[in-house]
A = this chain, B = another copy of it.
């Protein structure tokens, strides 16, 4: 989209294009600044939790937090103002995230001790994805999503098997080691089994009896081996997703179905293949519908 096209629109339309899309120079500058402000506000939230800094620069950090809240509030209102369907935006995923960037500061005025608001503030990080969403990364993230969606059922079967193992091994360790050696209850033993089967191994609870160590060895080798399962599932799905991307046109002469990405000629018989309307252009087409939220 060039600057001339942009100039022919009215003010509100231009604002909409700049704020919600990245394919204009102004839109790119807006997104870059938004990223800077988001990261700066996250740094302020983090520094404020460090006793050393909050004691010394508490006032400054509070002021900055209010400044960023102000910026996000203005941005939120402008987004509502310029969106063609404000209601749709407000109830969209990113509309909710945008609102959540603003409210904690005001709620904190009412309930100054509400520490849980910190988590709400951290959720601001999700806004970073909205900026990325509009770039080249979109299609790459799509591959990952397709692969994850394709492997959903296998992942559920896998997680359920792991849960069963963790439950049985945890109970077993509780019975073997007993409360006097750190395995104070079945939930704690299950926590230990998760720490061990995921190969994290904090070392805050460790088996002390020979039998406990033998079972722990079994848990560790199991964990080490079954890490192969999610990896295998995801790799196989991702390979399929990447392959099927180039799988979209039948050769009119020899009926060969799968072709290389961006193939212009069939590699078996040399017949010219027709582009499906230029893969990049149709991404920028229709993008208004898909990318607005």
Counting CB contacts under 8 A, is A229 at the interface?
yes
B228–A184 contact, CB under 8 A? Answer: no
Counting CB contacts under 8 A, is A201 at the interface?
yes
List B contacts of A213 (CB < 8 A): 187-188, 191
A93 to chain B minimum Cβ distance, whole angstroms, is 14
Counting CB contacts under 8 A, is A217 at the interface?
yes
Taken together as a complex, chains A and B put the C-alpha atoms of A170 and B126 apart, in Å, by 15
B269–A125 contact, CB under 8 A? Answer: no
Contact A153:B137 (CB < 8 A) given known A168-B119, A200-B200, A235-B235: yes
A102 to chain B minimum Cβ distance, whole angstroms, is 18
Of all chain B residues, the one with the shortest Cβ separation from A117 is B175
List B contacts of A143 (CB < 8 A): 154
Using an 8 Å CB-CB cutoff, how does the interface string of A144-186 with B read, 1 for contact, 0 for none? 1001000001111111101110011011101100010000111
Counting CB contacts under 8 A, is A129 at the interface?
yes
B186–A118 contact, CB under 8 A? Answer: yes
Counting CB contacts under 8 A, is A59 at the interface?
no
Of all chain B residues, the one with the shortest Cβ separation from A191 is B213
Counting CB contacts under 8 A, is A204 at the interface?
yes
A50–B185 contact, CB under 8 A? Answer: yes
A201-238 at interface with B (beta carbon < 8 Å): 201-204, 206, 210, 213-214, 216-217, 220-221, 223-225, 227-238
List B contacts of A203 (CB < 8 A): 201-204
A255-273 at interface with B (beta carbon < 8 Å): 257, 259-260, 262-272
Of all chain B residues, the one with the shortest Cβ separation from A197 is B224
Which one of B50, B132, B190, B264 contacts A269 once the chains associate, using CB atoms below 8 Å? B264
Contact A265:B264 (CB < 8 A) given known A160-B128, A199-B200: no
Segment of A4-12, A24-32, A41-49 engaged in the interface with chain B: A41-49
Which one of B46, B191, B232, B267 contacts A264 once the chains associate, using CB atoms below 8 Å? B267
Counting CB contacts under 8 A, is A242 at the interface?
yes
A191–B217 contact, CB under 8 A? Answer: yes
Counting CB contacts under 8 A, is A121 at the interface?
yes
List B contacts of A140 (CB < 8 A): 153-154, 157
Contact A236:B233 (CB < 8 A) given known A144-B154, A267-B265: no
A-B contact list, 22 entries, CB within 8 Å: A46-B187, A50-B186, A51-B184, A118-B175, A119-B171, A129-B160, A140-B154, A159-B221, A187-B213, A188-B213, A191-B213, A191-B214, A194-B217, A198-B221, A200-B223, A201-B202, A201-B203, A202-B202, A228-B231, A232-B235, A235-B239, A265-B266
